[in-house]
Structure formats: structure tokens, C-alpha cells
Structure 1
Amino acid sequence: MNGTNHPKQKPSINKSSSYMHSFFSGWSWKMAWRDARSNKKRLFIYISAIIIGVAAQVAITSFRDSLNETINNQSKELLGADLEVETEQPFPDTLRAYFDELGGEQATITEFPSMALFPKGGQTRLSNIRALKGNFPFYGTLETDPVSALQQFKSDTSALVDQTLMTQFNLSVGDSVKVGQVTFPISGAVTKVPGEAAAASMVGPRIFIPHSMLDSTKLVQQGSRIEYKRYFKFENGREITPIESKLDSLEESLAMDIDIETIEERQEELGEAVGNLGKFLNLVGFIALLLGGIGVASSIHVYINQKISTASVLRCFGASSNQTMSIFLIQAIVLGFLGALVGTLMGVGIQYLLPSLVSDFFPVDIELTISWLAIGLGLFTGTGVALVFALLPLLALRKASPLYALRTLEESITQLLSQKVKWTTYGLIALTVFGYATLLTESWRAGGLFTLGMIAAFGLLLLTAQLLIKTVKRYFPSHWTYVWRQGLANLYRPHNQTATLMLSLGLGMLLVSTLYFSQDMLMKELDFATRDDAPNLIFFDIQSDQNEGLNNLLDDQDLPILQNVPMVTMRLDSLRGRSIEAVDEDTTTEVHGWALRREYRSTYRDSLIDSETLLEGEWIGTADPSEGPVPVSAAQEIAEDLQLEIGDSLTFDVQGVPISAYVGSIRKVDFQRVQPNFFMLFPAGVLEAAPQIFVTITRTEDTEASARAQQAVVQEYPNVSAIDVSRILETINQFVSKISLAIQFMALFSIITGLIVLGSSVATSRFQRVKESVLLRTIGASRKQIIQILAVEYLFLGVLSALTGLILSVGAAWLLGYFYFDIAFVPNGWVIIGGTALVTALTILIGMVNSRSILNKTPIEVLRAETT
């Protein structure tokens, strides 16, 4: 609508007419439609920022609901049985007898890590060996390729090998794998295990062997780390609670850990993990929606500024302030709803991209469905955010005096509002953010913290942006050429959108770069395999009679023995004169239960090593247990969890033999070192006669030398396992990369929204720029110079926006490293350079594309526009 349009019917002037009457009057809707029709391009830009934010929200919420429904539908497949019982010791006769009483269908898996040798190419790999007996899984299917491999495995002595190993070592059905002393033919590849995510195979590739062949492998030896699992399938309706109670009582009477898991517990654990991930991603998507709100506020602010004359003309013809405001309020609501509708439809489509990002981390086949709750929330929040963020300039429109039909308003329209109205509106925006964040997180505390965090982030971004702008203005390079001076000056001239653009683009950069910096910081800390002289190959589960021979074998291959450490398995029997059971049941104590019940793997020596620093007490290197309690040194972490002080008494059960001890010292241990580190350190002269295994660490020059060493050791000592640190690092990197990809995918919505805000700012303020362009051409500027001026402006906008986000992300990453990860953060210069260059290039590209029509306007067009 322009100034020449007149209403067909003059509205009645009634000062007491209600605002609601104005909003619902047909005249207001008719005028809103006329004006929107003549400004449809501007108004589409207005809603485009909302579209992206709503799309992110709907996609995440719908995907989360689909995942939860899938978990409910596949609840039994998550466990594969009605009940799982797990111990770290062979089932004693009492427990076996109770299992027989329970009846039902049962299956057994004995699970442990061990090296596997593939004779075809001589490769070795630390794998998760599972000796299976019975028809597990009872629910779901152990999927193999070919399908017939599972039945063949149950009827002969073949093995099933994880698909990742088959692919990695180019194996085929009919090839063989050597596990311990037995070589098994491979009957097929394992493609899916019920209740386990695909990513689990990255940590420990699974190899299934028949339980009947377990003893023949000779891998179950003293000190081996083994999990014994029994699975049960009962008739429908069997109550599990009494069984759990009986197993709890047996746990106490047998003095052993018995872990019990039911379908409901597994479902609850996974549901909680899904819920937490969904809440986090929802908040990341919500940030994109908030940026869309900023785009709305920016766009409608410029749009309303340009409609002052229209509103003033309507006031001259007798329209009330409420009637005038209702025209543009209707536009805001309707367009907000349309933007939310388009965003909702996009979000429903985008959710089908999400399974490819996160499916490896979930142990279910995700069944995508349409979530009507997500659709409803998308429509409601998109419309609400558009309205709330447009409220400030709309309220200011009520102050449009008929006088402004003749006089130009030099200041921003929002300056007409009182401070009380402004802060009330800001409070309403904050309340909206808090309400929706609480709805997403299902916690008012989390919603409050998120709202405060967003206020702090927006405040810091705005402050940083303003400081950068003031710095540019104060130290303005007056000696630069005309084009550079003019482009730079555009950043702080009246009606500029610099702060808004830096806020939106800066927040997107803050999210993405903080995530990248954190990932880079963690990976650098984990990159211990590349440090000079750092160990990168560890052999463990070495029996006492194998220790010397294995070390000689490594010596023959010119590999250094960096450490050869004995390790003795034990448990706590009493603490400060009280039994572990009594301490654990004491509700007044702050001792952590896991530290009481865990299995300790301790060592002995006569001196501390360079990764240990004495904090309290005195280190005593030798002791004689026949003379009384022996001094032990506790690591700082376990001392805190057990509430240990110097002199506290301890009794250890060393595989049936009690050893009395006391805390002689507390030491700080660098657990990040690639070497065996221990919570409890004994002096020499105490544990030498105890059953023990050894750990040897060495360093190889390259992957080929590491492979040769592992192959030689496995062929000579099949029970010995090896950890290739470089492979572990590679696995961790894959995990972190997969997780960060999903998060970055959502964070990129913020960048996209920021770029849309940039485009909308250029589009809605196009008339202002046309006038400037015409004025420059009138005083002699060429078309080329105007293009260069615009390019310079967008260059500085991109650079300053990127720097705003990057400066704050460096600070955020440093805080995370210092307070959370306890890591010294050093920013990656290439990330800063690359991020700045990318955002700057996108800013220039979008700005120039949206400004191309400015150059085609003639002075007469501008004069006509100003007089109409």
C-alpha cells in the first residue's frame, strides 16, 4: 500500500472502541491484505528467518518422538531376553541351582576381550569374543550375512565375525580366524546384534564362537577379565520383581557382584539417553528459531519505519492508533503463521535426514513417523516467536502522529516508546524463551539456565559487536581511498543493521566454532600416540610364566620394554575396621559405593615413578606383612571417593588371602599417561607371591612394525591381548566426528538463519540504500565505485561478524578446558582464519546478490517513490 491509496469507507472515529474490535474488523483485514499484496517480496523475507528456525525445531522434535516410539515398540529386542544376569566370576553352584529352579528358556554368553588372528593375511585385532550357548537372542534376530550362517554356527564349530572386521581385512565366508589355541572357519559376518548400536563394533569388533569350544581356546586363565552372562525367557506374565529380590539376597550371601537387567531397565536407560540428546538438540534448534526472531525484529523494524507515512495518512483520515496498528499486527500474525507452516513442512522432510547422522549410536532400527505434537509446537511457537519479536516496532507504530505525513521521522520509530514499554516487551520476550525452553527440557531449572545463558550470550555478542563498531569509528582510517572510507562508514551510519547482523551471524559462529574448538582440544589431548617416545603398543593378560618369553620376543624385534608391570587382582574387605557391607549400608557416610565394591588391580614396587607426585604422608618402598599392617599409597581420586586420610586402616581380599594395610601416603597420578596407572600402590615385599598377570608397554615406529609385533605375540601366546594406541585414537576420533557432525548439522541452522537475516536486512532496507546510491551517482560516483563500496561494507560486516563469534568462542572453549576438561586450550589459528574467510565470503555473496537491483534505479524513480 502507498500514500495514494484511500480506504473505500472512512472508519468511524470512536476513541473508546476496543483494540480487539479494531483487530477483528473487516476493514483492518482488508487494508492488511492490500498492503501485503503490494509488499509481498519484503514480507516473504520477513518470514524466511522463521521458516528455518521452525524447520529445525519440528525436525528434531518429530525425530525424537519417532525414536521414543521405536524404543517402545522394540523394547524386548533391546535386551534380547526377559532378564539378564551378569557376574565377573564363574557362576557358583548356589547360583546355578537357582537358575535351574527358575526354568524357562536360558542361554549363556561368556564375553571377554582377546586378540584374534586372521591367517589369510596375518592381521590381528583386539576383539570382543563371545562364547554363545543357547538360542540367544530370544527376541529380535542376530543378523548375519549370509542369513544361513547363524544356523550353521549353532550346528558346527564355526565362528561369526563382525562385518567391520570382514571388510577391514578383506575376509570372506570360508576364511578362518584364530582365537586362542583354536582356528575357526568363518561361517558368516555379523551385521546386527539386538540391543547394540552399530558404533559398538568400532570399539570392540564382535566375534561369536560356540561355547563348547571355549575351554579349548585356553583363554580363560587366572586374572583374565571375563563377563559371565545368563539370559532368560519366561512365559508371558512372569513377575520379575521376586527374582530380582532373590538375586539381591544371593549377591549378599555369596559376597559377589550380580548385575541384573530387565527389559524395563534397558528401555528406561535408552529412553533417558534419547531424551537428553533430544533436549540438547532441541535447544540448539531453538537458538536458530531465536535468531529467526531477531531477523523478524530487524525486518519489521525497517519495514515499519518505512510505513510511518502510510500510518500517518490513515490517522489523518480518522483511523485510530489501534486501527492503524491492527493492520500491521494482522500481517505479523498471518505471515508468522505462514512461515511456521512452511517451516513445519520442511521440518517433517528434514527429519528423514537425521537417522543417517545418529543411527549408528542407537541399538534400534528407527521407524520414522509423523509427530502431530511436533507439528503443533512448530506452528504455535513459530507464530508466537514472530509476534513477540515484532511487538516492539508494532507498539511504536501506535505513536505515529498524523504530523509525520508531512514531516520525516529522523530517528528510529522505537525511540518513540517509553523505557517502561521497552523493558516490558523485553521481559515478555525473555518469558517466552523461558517458557519454551522449560517445555523442551521438562525442567524449569534447565529452562531458566538456558534463558540466562542466552541473555548472557546475546549481551556479550551485542557488547562485542558495539565495541568493534566503536573501535572502527574511533580509529577511522581517513587516509584510505574514497571507496574504502565510504564502505566502512556505512557500518555506523543511521538506520544501519550492523549490530543485528553481527548478533545473528556471530551467534551461529559462536556455536559452530566452540564445538569445533572443543573437539580439537580433546583430540589434541588424546593424540598421545604422536608424542616423542610415548608408548603406543600395550600387551596385557600376560601370565607369570609367559612374561620373560614375551619380553625376549619383543627384544628380538628391537622393540624397547618401556614398562613391565605386575598386576594383582583384589577387593576391599573392610574400611576403618568396618566391613564393606556395613559402610555401604550406612546412609550417613559420603563414601562412594562403586569404590567399595569395585575390583582393584594393584601393583607393587619400591619407588614412585615420574607420573606420580606425593601429596600427603610418606612413601615406604618395602614392607613385611608378617610384621603387621603394610603401608599403601592411594591415588588422590580414590582417596576422595573413599574419604581416606593418612593412617586409615584397610583390609584387602587378595584372591582369598586377607592383607591388612593402612594409608601411608596419598599421591597424584597422571592417568592420561599411556601406561598402567593404579589406584592402590603396594610396597615391594608384599604381593610378589600372589597370583598375578603382567602388562608390558613398548613403542613401535609405524603401523607395520606394530602389526608384526602383535602377530608374533599372538602366534606364540594366544591368550595375550594387545592395545594399539593409534587404533584406539582413530576409533575415538571416529566417535567424536560422528557425534559432532550431528551437532554441527543443527548448529548450521543458526548460520543459515544469520545469513537469511543478512538477506532480509538488505532487502527491507533497500529503499534507504537506493537513495544513498542515487545520491552518490548524482555527485559523480560511477557504477563501479558503488559496487566497490557495497562490497567493502559487506566485507567488513562478514569479518566483524566472524570475529565477534570467534572471540567469544575462544573464551568459551578456554572456560570449558579450564573448568570442565582440565586442559590448557590453545586456539587453532587455521580454524579462525578459515571460519572468518568462509563467513566473509558468504556475507559478500548474499549482500551483493540482494543489492544488484539497487544499481538499476534512476533518480526520478526515487523522487517519485518519496512523493507517493
Structure 2
Amino acid sequence: MAWRDGKASGTRLLLFMASIILGIAAVVSIQSFSENLKDNIALQSKALMGADFIIDSRQPPNERVLQIIDSLGGADAKSVGFPSMAVFPKTRNTKLVNVKGIEGGFPFYGELETDPVTAATDYQQAGEVLVDATLMMQFGLRPGDSVSIGEITLPIAGRLVSAPGSTGVSASVAPPVLIPYRFIEATGLIQTGSRIRYDFYFVAGPGQDLEALDEKVDPLLDAQNADLDTHTSTGERLGRRYENFGKFLNLVAFIALLLGCVGIASSVHIYIKEKLQSVAVLKCIGASRKQSFLIYLIQIAGMGLIGGLIGTGVGLLVQQSFPLLLQGFLPFEVQITLTVAPIIMGLLLGVFMSVLFALSPLLSTWYVSPLQVLRIQENVPRKSRRANVLIMSAILLFVFLFSYWLVDSWKYALSFAAGILVVFMLLGGVADLFMKGIKKYFPTSWGFTARQSLLNLFRPNNQTLVLILAIGVGTFLISTLYFSKDILLAKTTLEANDEAPNLILLDVQTEQQEAAVARITEKGLPLLNNIPIVTMRMHKIKDRTVNEIRSDTTSTINGWILNHEFRVTYRDSLIDSESLEAGNWPVESQGEGVVPVSLSDNVARDAGVEVGDRLVFNVQGMLMETEVASIREVDWGRMQLNFSVLFPSGVLEDAPQFRVLTTYTPNESTSAGLQRELVQEFPTVSILDLRQLLSVVDDILDKISWVINFMAFFSILTGIIVLIGSVRTSKYQRIKESVLLRTLGAKSGQILKITALEYGYLGILGSTTGVLLSLIGSQLLALFVFETAFVPSWVPLLIVLPGITMLVLAIGLLNSRGVLNSPPLEVLRKEGV
């Protein structure tokens, strides 16, 4: 019976399936790509690092570190890396780059991809450099041109297309430049305060246990302010980084799936309502409740299985485009292969979610009386309240459990499930209030077409609730994503005034300070900041040294506190991005030899200290005892120099230090001219142009936004499918109304206007509610997550809202053409069923 009845209603069942296909496709595509990404990282982890393991340090390796390196058989290759300004004499352009001096056969896995190919192997022996391909294209450079780094000038061997250890994002800010190791000292860039990284590369011996090596050697290196990274641990960290983004996309895809399930519930509701008389006939000839229920349950399950199959196939095709969408973020090429787990998940989800969301309307068949054959009524038999509560509880439990499986955090899963529930309840409440308001305050003085369009919103078999849900959720998602991007951009956007620095000079040595300041002021530019920087490390927290804390496996102090090289400054006042959380600043010295300091809230939290606790810092070989005088809340999102540790004036003035100078340049040409002069006179100074940095940040956010909107498109498209399915499902009801209206004298033009007004109301109400909810949600995000002010953009109001409204109107009219052209006999014969 299920098969025979299903064949007779094949077209309508296809529309049911369309509601879930896109949701399954979205989830499967993300899941499958995540699995492929994980597998690719595991397979290519050696090529990503270029070695089996690396020992790295932010300071020249001491004797103990060198002993450990020797005990491991000696490094197979080594490098020194640091950011610096590069000058291209051909074009006189300057650019902040990441210089890496290499000695040995690095990389041992993967390859340096260069143009010409021979440059990868010849540049060291020839004493030439490899320059990032995008940078060479940007400045019109060719192999054979030269580049000046610090105090040396070398010829360019070729373009560096890709290299192990260079990710797309970091390379956008400071593109890589590789030089032979022997030229590093000649650059003159190894000075006090320089941000230098020393790397030693190793190839593991046959059968060497890298995990055991990491557990044994890494603690020894930590005690010497060095670190050991294996290719497996680095791959795991990289995997977690992309996994977090994947989890977010999974939730976006899951919303599309839930929206499809809402469409299924609505479509099945109309479908079953029209089948109630058939069920009553079946019961008259002896069919039991269970049999009549199972007939349609099997149909829905079959629909879910076929929808799952198609959705899974579409998802596997969609994931083929992900490497192109994410190529700016991935440091390697992803090889797409078939993975079993997402395919099985797609099939099971199709069946399970179809049945779960169809159970409530399917229960109507259970309570149909055989007398229904003799009765003419529109009301569906009353269902058990207990059964409905159980079904709704099962749906909410499933949403929570599936969310938990996607994000692996019960807090995030609960927040997501609660958020979705609140949004659906609010949209449902708005639809219900709207229909009740129309009934109570019906505008009887309006014209016929306007009155009839309003009556359609609460007629039998109306689709007001499901359409407002579909339109509202899609609009809410798109608008919230757009507002979130605005919040992120607002946190990084420079203020357009002379007090906001947009050019920062780093690593200015003490003897260069006066001349550098003079060059800035000579051009009539303001010197906004002249900040001293002193480097130091933590030596003791309270009464325990960092080495004791490292060896204590029960310690709750964050590891980065123990290994980090702090760059601190000294001043007796707070700046705009700081506010006191505890204590006072400035303060007088707490005692002879004890220096008061101010910590940022994150450092105090991770170090487990409060106001009044003692800390001992190693200031480049000299131990200095301090006491926490205050804890500051720092807005790290603001584009200005912020510090984790703050000393008072009169303490560090004589310590080895360097300076950071900031100024404001009104345009790019002034900025470029100043940079050229400064780099020519001070080749060791690094210059950070915030205009270029912000353009990189903006580009990254645009890419992320594009990917997210690509996934959100599934939600919108699912909403469109739900809309089409809802209109098609109630086609017979509309044909009947159309014929009756024409019998009463209504013209086709009037019926078309009625339909247009009805869908116009639904589009405006659904999209307006979605935008308003997104405004509330974005305000909460800005307040509690981003901790910043929220200034909403007009784009969702001016583009998204009218755009979705017009889309709803167009689909409603296109799907209603058949209703207008249907002859009266179609109603009498019920050919539209």
C-alpha cells in the first residue's frame, strides 16, 4: 500500500525530498571535507614542516641547548628567521618581509617550489635570494634584479612559489625571503630587541619514536627557553586550527538541515490532511491503526532515504569546490577522496530526520475515525498531547546531541540548541500573533483583493507559519553573518584622525632614536609615540621558580607564561585601551628593592596571581623582584600598542632597550616616501604600515565571509525549496478557492493581486523579523563575545530585506500560474490531488 500510494503521489513526494536534500548536502560536504583535510594534514605533516622534528628558540641557543642538539646527532640543517624591511633598488619600493637564512639541505620533505625550478637548489651556493612570487609580481621584479636586506644587497635567484612552514595568511603580512645562512651576520639585523627565531631541523632515524622523544626532550628544552616540535604535533595543532572553523561551518550547514526538516513537517502536515479520508476508508475495510500509520511512515522513510542519497551525492560534489574557496588559508593542496563516515551519516540523517520531524503530523492518521468517510470537516482529529510533547522533546534532544557531536562542547551545543529554539519560537510567535491580530482587527473597510489576501493568511491549509520560519531563519542567518563581519572590521578599522597612528617603526635602537625622530618631524608629520621596550622573561612566580613549575604536572599555570619573552614598557599612566580591574596605577614602590608592576588580566589569570603577589623577572641576565600593584583590562582588538606587563618610570631606563616610534601619514605616497628614506638611513629598522596590514585583514575577513555566506546560501536555498513545496502541496486547496472566487465573479487579475499581496505580506513579515532578530543577536555578540560597540550597517535593511521579499513574491506568483489556469472541472473531479 505504501508503494502503490507513493507512486500515485510521486511528484509531491519529490517536493518533500527537496526540502531535505540541500540540508543533507551542506552537512555532508562540510563533514567530508573536514575528514579529507584531517587525512591530508596527517599525510603531509612532514612536508608542511620540512623535517621530522625541529628545535627552535627565540634567543641564541645556550650551551645546554647545543648539548641536547649534539646528543641527537646534530642538526641536519638550521635557519635564522626575523622580520625586516626589504628594499628593491630597481623600483625603490620597500616592504616588510620575513627573512630566513638557511644552511643545509632544508627542506628534507616537500620542496621549495620556485621559478625557475633550478633556483631552489642553486641559490645557496650562488649567494642569491628567493623572493615571494606575489611580492615580485606586485613590484614588477624579475630574476636577476636585486634586493637589499639590512646592510647587504643580493641578486634575486627566482620566485618563491611555496615553501614548508609558510602559511598563506602570515605570508600576506610579511612575505618570505630566503637567503643563504652565511649572509645573516652581514645584514647587521641581529640586534637588541630583534624578533629572531633560531630553528634546527632534524631527520629522524629508522623506527625513532617521535612521541617518546617529545615527552623526554621537550621539558629539558623548555627549561632553557627553547622548544621541540615534531611533525605529528605540528600537524595536530594545524588540524585543530582548521577544525574550529569547520565546526562553525557545520553549525551553519545544520541550520539549513533543520530548515529543510521544518519544510518536511509542513509538507507532511498538508499531505496527510488530504489523505485522512483515504485512511478512514482503509479503517472501514478492516485496516488497523498501526497499518494505516505504517503505510505513510514507510513513505516518509523512503523519501528520507532517497533524499539522503541525493543530498549525499550533491554534498560530495560540492566539497570539490572547497579547496578553491579556502586556498588562501591552506598551506598545502588538499587531495579530495571519498570517505565512508560522512556518506553513512548522510543516509542515516535523511531517514532519521525525515521520520522524526514527520511524526507529529503522521500521528493524525492514528486518531482518524472510520466515520470520517461520512463527515465533511476541515479540522484534523485531535492528537495526544503526551505524544506531541514526547516528539518535541525527542527533536530538541536530537538537535542538542547532534550539535554536541559537531562541536564537541556541551556548552556550545546547549547554547546553539537554545539559540535555535529561541529564534524558531520567536518567529513562530510572530506568525501566530500576526494571524490572531488579523482575525481580531480585520480591516473590513478595505477593498476585496486586500481583504481576501489577508484572509488567505489564516485559511485552512495555510502556510503562514512555515513560510515565516523559512524566510525568517534564512534572513536571520545571512544578516547575523553580515553584522558579525562588520563588528570584526570595526575593531580593526583605523580612526581617520591625526591622533591614530598608521605607521609604526619597530626595533629603533637607542643611538638611532634622535635621527629617526628628526626624519619624521622634518616632513611635518607628528611623532605620536616614542615607546621604550625592554625584553625579559619570568623567573619566579610567588615562591616557585619557573623550572620548578614546569616539572610540576599538577600546576595550573599556563605554559606560555613560563616560556614567553615579554616585551614590556614603563610609564606612569594608563592609555585609552586600558582600564583598571584591581589595584591602583601609578603607585609608589612597595618596599626597598621591590618594584610595583601592572599586569594585563589575561597574564594575571594564566599566571594565577593577584594584587600583592610577588614575581621575579629575568631582565637580560639580571633578576628583578616585583609585586603586582594592579591588574588591567586591555582591549587587544584596538589598533595601538598594548602591553601585558607595565613597569613604573624610573626603573628600567638604564636597561638594554629599543624604541617603537609611531606617526600618522595622511596618504600612501607620503607613507611610501618616508619609508624609503628611513630604510635607506636605518636599514635595521622594521616599519609596519597599518594601511597594508588592514587591507590584508579586510581581505581575510572577506574570504571568510564569502565561505560562510556560501554555506548560508544553503539555508536560503532550502527556504526557497520549502516555499515551493508549500505552495505546490496546497495547490488543490488554492485551485478550489480560485474556482469559487471566479464563480463569484472575480477576475484572473484580481486573483493574481490577491496572491501577490499574500506573498508580499509573508516576505515582508518574515524578512523583517529575521533582520530584527539578527540585530538583537549581533548586539549580544558585540557585548558578550567581541566586547565592543555595535553600529549596525544599513545593507541588510536596504538589500537583504527587500531582496528576499521580492524573491518570495516571485516564487509565489510563478508557482500560482497553474492555479489561475485550472478549469472548474478539476475541482469537481479532484484531479489536482
TM-score bin (small chain): over 0.9
User: 1:82 and 2:52 equivalent?
Assistant: yes
1:201 maps to 171
User: Of 540, 551, 564, which aligns to 1:598?
Assistant: 564
Q: CA deviation at 1:219?
A: 0.8
Quick one: distance in 1 between partners of 2:832 and 2:266?
A: 25
Q: CA deviation at 1:864?
A: 2.8
Measured at CA, do residues 276 and 790 of structure 1 come closer, stay the same or move farther in structure 2, by a change above 3 Å? same
Amino acid of the residue matched to residue 378 of structure 2?
Answer: E
Q: CA deviation at 1:77?
A: 1.3
1:48 maps to 18
Equivalent pairs counted in the alignment come to 833
TM-score, normalised relative to structure 2: 0.94
User: Of 488, 509, 533, which aligns to 2:454?
Assistant: 488
The 8 Å contact of residues 475 and 801 in structure 2, kept in 1 or not, is answered as no
2:302 maps to 334
User: Of 271, 277, 301, which aligns to 2:239?
Assistant: 271
Q: CA deviation at 1:513?
A: 1.6
SS at match of 2:335: coil
The 8 Å contact of residues 76 and 203 in structure 2, kept in 1 or not, is answered as yes
Which range moves more in the overlay, 590-599 or 415-424?
590-599
How do 1:680-829 and structure 2 match up within 5 A? 680-829=645-794
Measured at CA, do residues 864 and 359 of structure 1 come closer, stay the same or move farther in structure 2, by a change above 3 Å? same
User: Of 533, 537, 550, which aligns to 1:571?
Assistant: 537
Q: CA deviation at 1:398?
A: 2.7
Quick one: distance in 2 between partners of 1:374 and 1:803?
A: 36
Quick one: distance in 1 between partners of 2:639 and 2:352?
A: 54
1:402 maps to 370
Q: CA deviation at 1:698?
A: 0.4
1:460 maps to 426
- What CA deviation, in whole Å up to 9, does each residue of 1:345-395 have, x standing for no partner? 212211111111123323332111112322222122112211222222222
The 8 Å contact of residues 505 and 801 in structure 1, kept in 2 or not, is answered as yes
How do 1:567-646 and structure 2 match up within 5 A? 567-583=533-549, 591-609=557-575, 611-613=577-579, 617-620=583-586, 628-646=593-611
Q: CA deviation at 1:445?
A: 6.5
1:64 maps to 34
Measured at CA, do residues 248 and 344 of structure 1 come closer, stay the same or move farther in structure 2, by a change above 3 Å? closer
Q: CA deviation at 1:580?
A: 3.3
Which range moves more in the overlay, 193-202 or 609-618?
609-618
How do 1:149-164 and structure 2 match up within 5 A? 149-164=119-134
Q: CA deviation at 1:745?
A: 1.5
Which range moves more in the overlay, 663-672 or 766-775?
663-672
Measured at CA, do residues 810 and 609 of structure 1 come closer, stay the same or move farther in structure 2, by a change above 3 Å? closer
Quick one: distance in 2 between partners of 1:667 and 1:444?
A: 31
The 8 Å contact of residues 762 and 850 in structure 1, kept in 2 or not, is answered as yes
Q: CA deviation at 1:628?
A: 3.2
Q: CA deviation at 1:600?
A: 2.0
Measured at CA, do residues 131 and 64 of structure 1 come closer, stay the same or move farther in structure 2, by a change above 3 Å? same
- What CA deviation, in whole Å up to 9, does each residue of 1:110-132 have, x standing for no partner? 11111111222222111111111
Measured at CA, do residues 608 and 818 of structure 1 come closer, stay the same or move farther in structure 2, by a change above 3 Å? closer
1:832 maps to 797
The 8 Å contact of residues 632 and 662 in structure 1, kept in 2 or not, is answered as yes
Amino acid of the residue matched to residue 182 of structure 2?
Answer: S
How do 1:424-439 and structure 2 match up within 5 A? 424-439=390-405
Which range moves more in the overlay, 57-66 or 447-456?
447-456
SS at match of 1:494: coil
The 8 Å contact of residues 529 and 725 in structure 1, kept in 2 or not, is answered as no
SS at match of 2:642: coil
2:254 maps to 286
User: 1:365 and 2:333 equivalent?
Assistant: yes
Q: CA deviation at 1:842?
A: 1.2
User: 1:120 and 2:86 equivalent?
Assistant: no
Quick one: distance in 2 between partners of 1:265 and 1:451?
A: 33
Which range moves more in the overlay, 783-792 or 644-653?
644-653
Q: CA deviation at 1:286?
A: 2.4
1:260 maps to 228
Quick one: distance in 2 between partners of 1:830 and 1:720?
A: 42
How do 1:214-363 and structure 2 match up within 5 A? 214-240=184-210, 243-244=213-214, 247-248=217-218, 250-251=220-221, 256-363=224-331
The 8 Å contact of residues 491 and 638 in structure 2, kept in 1 or not, is answered as no
2:181 maps to 211
Measured at CA, do residues 300 and 205 of structure 1 come closer, stay the same or move farther in structure 2, by a change above 3 Å? same
User: 1:508 and 2:478 equivalent?
Assistant: no
TM-score, normalised relative to structure 1: 0.90
Quick one: distance in 2 between partners of 1:601 and 1:243?
A: 31
Quick one: distance in 2 between partners of 1:537 and 1:756?
A: 51
Which range moves more in the overlay, 753-762 or 634-643?
634-643
Quick one: distance in 1 between partners of 2:754 and 2:647?
A: 74
User: Of 517, 521, 542, which aligns to 2:483?
Assistant: 517
Measured at CA, do residues 298 and 673 of structure 1 come closer, stay the same or move farther in structure 2, by a change above 3 Å? closer
Quick one: distance in 1 between partners of 2:499 and 2:323?
A: 42
The 8 Å contact of residues 617 and 665 in structure 1, kept in 2 or not, is answered as yes
SS at match of 2:708: helix
- What CA deviation, in whole Å up to 9, does each residue of 1:151-171 have, x standing for no partner? 221221211111221222222
The 8 Å contact of residues 164 and 201 in structure 1, kept in 2 or not, is answered as no
- What CA deviation, in whole Å up to 9, does each residue of 1:622-662 have, x standing for no partner? 8799x633333334443444444444433332212233333
User: 1:186 and 2:152 equivalent?
Assistant: no
Q: CA deviation at 1:139?
A: 0.7
Q: CA deviation at 1:584?
A: 5.3
Amino acid of the residue matched to residue 721 of structure 1?
Answer: S
Amino acid of the residue matched to residue 489 of structure 1?
Answer: L
Quick one: distance in 2 between partners of 1:867 and 1:142?
A: 67
Measured at CA, do residues 785 and 161 of structure 1 come closer, stay the same or move farther in structure 2, by a change above 3 Å? same
Measured at CA, do residues 236 and 769 of structure 1 come closer, stay the same or move farther in structure 2, by a change above 3 Å? same
- The two structures, once aligned, show a CA RMSD in angstroms of 2.6
Quick one: distance in 1 between partners of 2:290 and 2:688?
A: 74
Measured at CA, do residues 159 and 854 of structure 1 come closer, stay the same or move farther in structure 2, by a change above 3 Å? same
In structure 2, stretches of 5+ residues that fail to align are none
Amino acid of the residue matched to residue 82 of structure 1?
Answer: D
The 8 Å contact of residues 622 and 684 in structure 1, kept in 2 or not, is answered as no
The 8 Å contact of residues 622 and 685 in structure 1, kept in 2 or not, is answered as no
Which range moves more in the overlay, 734-743 or 444-453?
444-453
- What CA deviation, in whole Å up to 9, does each residue of 1:712-745 have, x standing for no partner? 1111111111111121111111222222222221
Q: CA deviation at 1:540?
A: 0.9
Measured at CA, do residues 169 and 473 of structure 1 come closer, stay the same or move farther in structure 2, by a change above 3 Å? farther
The 8 Å contact of residues 389 and 429 in structure 1, kept in 2 or not, is answered as yes
The 8 Å contact of residues 323 and 333 in structure 2, kept in 1 or not, is answered as no
1:554 maps to 520
2:147 maps to 177
Q: CA deviation at 1:424?
A: 2.2
